Amino acid sequence: MNAPRVYLHALGMINALGDDVESILPALAATQSPGMGVVQMRAGESFVGRVKASLDVAPHASLARYDCRNNRLLLAALAQISPHIEAARARYGAHRIGVVLGTSTSGIEAAETAFIHQAQAGQLPESFNYRQMEIGTAAPFAAAALDLHGPAFTISTACTSSAKAFVSARRLLQLQLCDAVIIGGVDSLCELTVQGFASLESTSSARTNPMSRNRCGINVGEGAAVFLMSREEGPVVLAGAGESSDAHHISAPDPRGVGGEIALRAALAEAGLAPSAIGYVNLHATATRKNDEMEARLMARVFADGVATSGTKPLTGHQLGAAGATELGFAWLALARDDVALPRHLWDGEADPELPALDLVESERYLSRASGPQHVMSNSFAFGGSNVSLILGR
């Protein structure tokens, strides 16, 4: 028996481009990101993607022990889809709504601040609670803040965290364990990740430059993106998903892209689509030497006749655990709304002659509404060889 289809009904997001979807869209179209730039961190200056908005604290005193920047970012995204959440609660009941979120940092920034205070004052600050930094906190916190009582769990698989969360949420719906799921990801800037990537010589001191011969690393970013998913029919369906784990190396991708290709082809097979049916692919495109080489080669193999592509991390920074949900969100907007163009690929225009040429979106382009492909894809790859490809259709 075929599993029931699931649909994505509403999107909330916050990142370096803006504070909500309506402020993000014009910034995305203009390739102008106010939150991208150099900031002073404890270990020195870093070029990052930072959210500039003021963030609200947890809505209830009982949740104060969870209060940290990561959870405040999450609340800002959730607030944007609150009418849809409330409608789902009224229809299904709070016990039938789940929460599945991806993160890689949780509230590590709060712990860093607390440990510095401890080193200086001899004790942790009264405001610090271990729950702020616990890696599994995001989903239970969101469920508590929204007073939802379905399954709630957090996935942390580095840069595929929130992409994998979509697959898990779909499974909850298909198994009839939930009638709706809040799904997405959140990550916040912290010294651990910024300096960790710097120690791997994977960061760039200027805006990241994906697919260029001059690419030299990532800009770490922060943000949150959340959807409401259900079996109720809507304009955008999660048509296919593919996962693989090649376990090539703890931090370096398989240069052949074998695992990534398995994930892409699995997503296409599940959706019952040929590569020519895909109208746009949001690339993982970290702008590191090895990742872009791997991704360009596997894209050329899977899409031998070409497909419109772009990498959006120069406008958000690499949001790690929130990257998959954010980038799927950009693809969702281009698919769901007539007035939203495909995200542009921001780079210096100097192609790497050693890589296969990709059809990078560098000027205004839209998906055709009348004819042509009605599906989009988003790819995510992570440390340890974790690979996820998601396909949306209308």
**pLDDT tens digits for range 57-114:** 888 888 999 999 999 999 999 999 999 999 999 999 999 999 999 999 999 999 999 9
Q: Is the pLDDT of residue 359 over 80?
A: yes
CA–CA gap between residue 113 and residue 191 (Å, rounded): 10
pLDDT of residue 156: 97
The Cα–Cα gap between 209 and 218 comes to: 8
What's the mean pLDDT in 17-24? 98
What is the pLDDT averaged over residues 341-367?
Answer: 97
For the residues 159-174, what does the mean pLDDT come to? 98
As a whole number of angstroms, the distance between CA 90 and CA 389 comes to 33
β-strand partners of 282: 310, 378
Instruction: Tell me the average pLDDT across 200-205.
Output: 92
The pLDDT of residue 214 is 98
Q: Which CATH number fits domain 7-230: 3.40.50.720, 3.40.50.300, 2.40.50.140, 3.40.47.10?
A: 3.40.47.10
Number of neighbours of residue 151 by Cβ within 10 angstroms: 18
Q: Quick one: tokens of 217?
A: 């690393």
| DSSP state letter for 209 | -
**Residues forming CATH 3.40.47.10 domain(s) in the chain:** 7-230, 237-393
Q: pTM score, two decimals?
A: 0.96
d(CA 392, CA 335): 8
Q: What percent of the chain has pLDDT over 70?
A: 99
pLDDT at 345 over 80: yes
| CATH number 3.40.47.10 is the correct assignment for the domain at 237-393 | yes
Rounded distance, CA 266 to CA 245, Å?
Answer: 13
**Could you give the CA distance from residue 273 to residue 180 in angstroms, rounded to a whole number?**
26
- Number of other residues whose CB lies within 10 A of the CB of residue 267: 24
The pLDDT of residue 253: 82
